[in-house]
Structure 1
């Protein structure tokens, strides 16, 4: 068993849980009650659910890969998931830093949850 990947999988599932609970309260409810036209509103709602599924499936994949350590293709799959979470964190950092807010890193702190998954997964490839 690969402890790094196990930790990455558990962390990713925690991120998915935070996304589902906090995101529904702080993002989905306000989105659905805003004055945005129905089509873009429903597209954004669907994208939020797609990210929920993506986070959960990535966490489950990391858990599986922690048990399949050494199986051909494991390293490539783990690097893909690590890159995936790095990209998610980078998007939040770029968006946050481009707005010009004071204390921007804490305004959209999602990157703080996403980056550890990438680091733990990458550590699990060594």
Structure 2
């Protein structure tokens, strides 16, 4: 059975983008490196866990947008990801923690970017 396209699931594209931004920001906070491999792997994991598909070119474009947001737009929007924030960005299952105020701010920014 084919998986539904990400755009057939309301809010899925914004959720994936926010997950990628959070992953990139958390990774940078911990390693001080901008790691594209984390974006690629996080995208694969999110899509598999969510049971949706996304064309490879759209994944690349969304990953680039996530890097841009994490590098430039978080700070401009007053969103700082500190080491103490990293754990609260995600649940124990490595899903976005929508109860986190940082995630809520990121999600708003991501929705505006789409």
With the length of structure 1 as denominator, give the TM-score of the two structures. 0.30
With the length of structure 2 as denominator, give the TM-score of the two structures. 0.32
Which has more helix, going by share of residues?
1
Q: Tell me which structure has the larger Cα radius of gyration.
A: 1
Q: Name which structure has the greater RCO, CA cutoff 8 Å, separation 6+.
A: 1
